[in-house]
Amino acid sequence: MLALAIHLIPTALVLLSLLIAWRWEWVGAALFTALGITHLPLKRGQLPTGDLLLIAGPGFALGALFLVGWIYRKAIRSPQAG
């Protein structure tokens, strides 16, 4: 049973990062980018480059989206005039 539970660690890291990012966008941008960067050297040589980018790409995309959300935070949350 423990051998199967080890495969849930990446999911737990992503969920924990999401919980933190929901409150602090800039931290979420850093966390998701770090998760994407960390995955690349860990699996290099085990997977083809395209597969590596396919798996790490969503981490980079989420990091970018949280960064954009943090930069445009005031514009997004301000009420629209008119």
24-56 burial, b at 16+ Cβ within 10 Å, e below that, comes to ebeebbbbbbebbeebeeeeeeeeeeeebeeeb
Instruction: Using the predicted structure, report yes or no on whether residue 79 has a pLDDT greater than 80.
Output: no
pTM to 2 decimal places = 0.80
pLDDT of res. 82: 47
pLDDT of res. 63: 95
Q: For 3-60, what is each residue's pLDDT tens digit? A: 888 889 989 999 999 999 999 999 999 999 999 999 888 888 898 989 988 989 999 9
- How far apart (Å, rounded) are the C-alpha atoms in residues 27 and 21? 6
Q: How far is CA 73 from CA 18, 30, 66, in A?
A: 17, 16, 10
